[in-house]
Amino acid sequence: MLPAGPLAQGFPHLGSIRRSLRTLIPRIRDGRLPAVPGRPWTAWSTVYDMLEPELSVQRLARVIADAYHLKVGTIVVTFDPNLPVPGRVALGASDDFIIELKSNLKLLPRDISAVLGHEVAHIFLHRHGLRRPDTLEDEILTDTAAALYGFGVLALDTYSVSQHTSADGQGVTYTERRLGYLTPVEVGYVLEKGGVAGTPEHLTSHAPMAAFRKGARRHRRDLGAPLADCPWWSRGWYRLWRWITLLSGWTIPLTERRVFGLSRQHVEFRCPICTQRLRLPVGKAVRATCGTCRHTVPCET
């Protein structure tokens, strides 16, 4: 579950996250995927007994499977000291499944819940035929699904930053610890996109709270006008070409990335929730409703 190599910062996976949101949010909202239950991430506090971790983790896995509305048979969760990743699941057609967890998580029930939330999301997506051929893309889809179903709250709360001072007192280094393929700010972004209620009250330290707020700010930026996610020069380019096309009737793409398109009558941009491409009339103040996720946002084009 935790990627190898240096930990990424910021929003390096934004394109993959938006593709995942475009896959998941419409399916949740129209019933092709089950609705998100209320705050399933709190189950660990009542189910997990650190005096009996081997038994508790089986019960916890079943509660998490129920949160995804999964029909399951036998659940086997084992601890392995030699596991190279925090968690691993064997996928198959059977209603039974096996999950392996790294042994050093045994006394960290919140971390176990975050890892189980991710691993059970693999089963959930597998059974609904939602997988990506690329491994990283598939893991990001899985992290996004886990976050939308509430387990991103726990994954974000595992994020910590430790400060270490050198023996001579001359240098300070910082060590980050986190779970998952998404960066902490990306988890906050997905939680806010999915409208996961009550996130701040379940974050227990400054680092995850700061990451959540940064991700939430990025989401609010998406909720702005159609050009809010463009750099300043692209917004200026849009206004110039809008004026030209309104006068001349030319059809001209707005940017090389083709994030937006502009014609005499219409501008194209992405829904701020599910990122589906929308088409609106130019030069009007309208309330745009996404036909995919049904989100409505006021826009001036």
- Please name which of 269, 230, 266 lies closest in space to residue 251, comparing C-alpha atoms: 266
What's the whole-number average pLDDT of the chain?
82
Q: How far is CA 270 from the centre of its chain?
A: 17
Contact 86, 76 (CB under 8 A): no
| Domains of the chain by residue range | 14-222, 232-300
- Dist CA 132 CA 135 (whole Å): 7
Asked whether the predicted pLDDT for residue 223 surpasses 70, the reply is yes
Averaged pLDDT, 28-39? 87
For 36-57, what is the mean pLDDT? 81
Is 0.85 surpassed by the pTM of this model? no
Query: Distance (Å, rounded) from C-alpha 80 to C-alpha 12?
Result: 31
| Nearest residue to 290 via CA among 222, 217, 231 | 222
Q: Is the pLDDT of residue 260 over 70?
A: no
Any idea how long the chain is? Answer: 301
DSSP type of residue 98? E
Residue 57 pLDDT > 80, yes or no? yes
pLDDT at 93 exceeding the cut of 90: no
**DSSP, residue by residue, 187-229:** HHHHHHHTT-TTTGGG--SHHHHHHHHHHHHHHHHHTSSTTTT
Q: What is the average pLDDT across 70-92?
A: 91
**Among candidates 261, 232, 262, 236, which has minimal Cα distance to 248?**
262
Mean pLDDT of 275-298: 76
Q: Which residue has the higher pLDDT, 106 or 9?
A: 106
The more confident residue out of 183 and 272 is: 183
Query: DSSP 3-state assignment of 64?
Result: helix
pLDDT (tens digit per residue) in 233-257: 766 777 776 677 666 655 444 433 3
**Digit-coded pLDDT (tens) for 118-175:** 999 999 999 999 999 999 999 999 999 999 998 999 999 999 877 656 556 665 555 7
At residue 174, the pLDDT reads 59
Q: For position 255, what pLDDT does the model report?
A: 38
Helix (H, G, I), strand (E, B) or coil at 154: helix
Tokens standing for residue 62: 């079943």
Whether pLDDT at 201 is above 50: yes
Edge-to-edge strand list for the sheet holding 261-262: 252-253, 261-262, 266-270, 277-281
pLDDT at residue 226, as a whole number:
55
Residue 4, classed as helix, strand or coil, is coil
pLDDT at 257: 33
Distance between CA 259 and CA 261 in Å, rounded? 7
Give which of 20, 6, 246 is closest to 149, Cα–Cα.
20
According to the model, what pLDDT value does residue 166 have? Answer: 58
Look up residue 143 and give its amino acid.
D
State both tokens at 176: 């980050």
pLDDT at 64 over 60: yes
- Joined together, the tokens standing for residue 288 give 């745009």
- pLDDT score, position 230: 62
Output the CA–CA distances (angstroms, integers) from residue 165 to 7, 60, 92, 173, 197, in the order listed: 21, 39, 48, 6, 38
